[in-house]
Structure 1
Amino acid sequence: MDWSTKRKLEYFGILVAAILLFVVLPFFIFIYKPPTCFDGKKNSDETGVDCGGSCRLLCRAEALDPILKWDPRIFRVSLGVYSLLAYVENPNVSAGVRSAPYIFRIYDKEGLLILERRGSTFIPRGKTFAVFDGNFSLEERIPAKATFEWGELVWSRTTVSGPEISITNKALMREETTPRVEATVENKSLEPIRDLELTALIFDSDGNAIASSRTFLEYLDKGGEAEVVFTWPQPFPTRAEVCAAPVDVTLVLDRSGSMDDLGANPPQPLTDVKNAAVYFVNLLHEKDQAAVVSFATEAASPIESVLGRNFEAVKRAIERIAIRETDIQHTNIADGLLKAKEELVSSRHASAASQVAILLTDGVATRPEKGGDPGYPETYAQQVANDMRQSRIALFTIGLGKNVNESFLRSIASSSEEFFLTPTAKELRGVYKKIAEKICTTRAAVIEIIPRIYPR
């Protein structure tokens, strides 16, 4: 290649380079837009349009739906004024929604729509939270149920851990007039907290939510504490006390011959006694257990009903108790107590439950007999009662009528306060109600306070 050709090639190369540098490259830069998570196209490693892959937004199929833990609750705040609450779990441990539209719909008992309540909230990652909508008027309409629906949810990936929040010293006060819940909120994280929402839920003895309220803290310094208060203008519809522990209880019922002295058809006072015992069973809670044993000359063997939570079966067993007419039926209190003790310490006893026996009789102990010792029936019953006390079984005694040995029944009861004397069977329901209240050692209501930090 001669010198002239080389020079031409050099000039041509310079020209091409200049065109690439000053024409093609600027034009490419001008028209080329690199793929992003907001360009309206599926590109790069995205699994959908602007979602999935390395994008912060998740595709719809990559996120699980929020779980509504129970049906939305309607709470009456005052006359014609109500609030709503949905209790929701986000099963996505690394995804949340910054702005989540929702709709509450309220219906009357006829299924007619009364009101729609629309709003927007946020869904924190991997948390159970409350959606509260409060203090709106329905005037004279009475709500019966509510539904809750989400609008379109746009899920975002997030791995940022929220601050550590501790809620202690929860206390319910003034439940009979204007209920008030107080609590202490502590920020245990190393950063201050802003825009903290706190929703309080009050549960009754059956675990049902009976009231809710909400408050906010605008700022809580790192390591700081704050007292928060939730209030209601009227008492709750039901008491919020719950039993501290379940109860295993055995009803020990006298069916001796004297239990039809006031009437034979139906036998009285036996019929009233059975009705009162059924009433008592209706007062028990779902975690309690009940058993039934009747006695006359001897206690029933097998007993009428062993410990269990099938209260309908227990009530049927009570209703089947009858006075035997084959021979004279005496009063063996000791055997009735012995069978009750055996059942309460059996394998059917729930380890977390307290043990209670309730004896009802209308006479004096006359069996079992021991030659030369007319007081043996009571002495033996006292021995069995002492054994029950050693086994930590609480014994309540009820004397019905005028023919009972009051001092004896008082002595075998766990304490003098556990003995009741009632002249007639008509007062028995009141006695059993008092016993039901005594065996249910109440503790404070279940108070749940749910924190949630609004995104900034």
Structure 2
Amino acid sequence: MALSWVFKKQLKIFIFLAVILFAIVGGVIYYFRPAPSCFDNKLNQNEERIDCGGECEACVIDPKNLIVSWARPFEVTPGIYDAAALIENPNLYYGSQEIEYTFLLYSDNVLIASKDGKTFLNPREKFMIFESGILTKERFATRATIEIKEVKWKKFDKERANILVSSKTFDNAPNGLVKVVLRNQTLFSIKNVFVAVILNDSAGNAIGVSTSKINEISAEMTKDVYFTWRSPIQLASSTEVYLRTNLTE
């Protein structure tokens, strides 16, 4: 049955209005779309790869390797050790949500114990990896190494937490006590702050290490953090403090 003239006219008007509405909605979506950036996980603005090259920072095809400054065992009691390693990530924008590592403890050249662990890796940071309670079955550990598995690199741009180490003091009585005062210089609370302390002798060798996790530092407030040791620590010539918050979450 042939369409009536009135129905044809109504259909044309409906199609016309639908096209206009579609154009308006599409225009609004296009106008308010997020501007392309170097951190949008999209290949745009003449980028060579996602978020690198073109308008962005040069692509890191071969990220620089992590730098292990040192790795050492620390005897807690006979047969029980802590192990620590000072690590540096030299890559400015690249880190990883998780890296896996293994501490290896040796008596001379004989492997006597190992322990696996995981941590996050922020871009451009120097930090300490620490594992406690490594059993050596009464054998004396003379050295330690750390093996880090292949890193799955990813670009991050999260701003670092603005936390200041206001002061740090060391008292060697009775077994060694370090007090670190942290100050949150922002207008919001900062959660999950990881603090590492390294005591060095006059030659710059680490003679004591410890770590602590602070659940929260309130806005514009200070937080006192204390570190103690079970065994006596000789007078330290210097104290290093390293702070971390997870920028990869």
The structure that is helix-richer by fraction is 1
Which residue of the partner structure matches residue 88 of structure 1? 87
5+ residue gaps in structure 2? 1-39
> By how many angstroms is 1:193 displaced?
1.0
Alignment coverage as a number of residue pairs: 204
Per-residue deviation, residues 172-221 of structure 1 (Å, max 9, x unmatched):
12x24321111111111233211111010001111111000011101111
Partner of 2:219: 222
Letter in 1 for 2:154: S
Q: Deviations over 1:22-65 (max 9, x none)?
A: xxxxxxxxxxxxxx979xxxxx9554xx79559xxx98734211
Q: Partner letter of residue 71 of structure 2?
A: P
Q: What is the Cα-based RMSD across aligned positions, in Å?
A: 2.6
Taking the aligned partners of 2:140 and 2:246, their CA distance within structure 1 comes to 33
- How many Å apart are 1:127 and its aligned residue? 1.2
Any conservation in 1 of the 2:73–2:81 contact (CA below 8 Å)?
yes
Q: Structure 2 vs 1, CA of residues 144 and 186 (structure 1 numbering), >3 Å: closer, same or farther? A: same
Alignment of 1:24-39 (within 5 A): none
- Tell me, in whole angstroms, the C-alpha distance in 2 between the residues paired with 1:52 and 1:148: 31
Superimposed CA distance per residue, residues 395-449 of structure 1 (whole angstroms, 9 cap, x where no aligned partner): xxxxxxxxxxxxxxxxxxxxxxxxxxxxxxxxxxxxxxxxxxxxxxxxxx31111
Larger proportion of strand: 2
The secondary structure found in structure 1 opposite 2:61 is helix
CA apart distance, 1:169: 2.6
2:158 is the alignment partner of 1:145 = no
Specify the alignment match of 2:67 in structure 1.
67
- Given candidates 119, 122, 140, the residue that maps to 1:124 is 122
Q: Report how far residue 156 of structure 1 moved.
A: 1.4
8 Å contact kept, 1:192–1:220? yes
Q: CA deviation at 1:122?
A: 1.2
AA of the residue aligned to 2:157: T
Counterpart selection for 2:183 from 164, 181, 186:
186
* CA displacement at 1:107 relative to structure 2: 1.1
Cα distance in 1, alignment partners of residues 121 and 158 from structure 2:
14
Tell me which amino acid in the other structure corresponds to 2:208. Answer: A
Cα distance 1:62–1:114, how it changes in 2: closer, same or farther (>3 A)?
same
> Is the CA contact (8 Å cut-off) linking 1:168 and 1:184 kept in structure 2?
yes
- 1:76 paired residue number: 75
On the 8 A contact 2:115/2:134 being kept in 1, the answer is no
TM-score by length of 2: 0.74
CA separation in 2, counterparts of 1:75 and 1:51? 43
Greater radius of gyration (CA)? 1
Match of 2:238 among 432, 435, 446: 446
Q: Structure 1 residue 159: deviation in Å?
A: 2.2
Q: Which residue of 1 aligns with 2:235?
A: 239
Distance in 2, matches of 1:37 and 1:167, equals 35
> Would the alpha carbon gap of residues 65 and 222 (structure 1) be closer, same or farther in structure 2, given more than 3 Å must change?
same
Q: Percent identity?
A: 26
Regions of 4+ moved over 3 Å = 44-47, 50-54
State the AA in 2 paired with 1:147: T
Separation in 2, partners of 1:126, 1:450: 13
> 1:193 touches 1:220 (CA, 8 Å); kept in 2?
yes
CA distance in 2, matches of 1:94, 1:37: 14
TM norm structure 1: 0.42
CA contact (8 A) 2:72 2:144 kept: yes
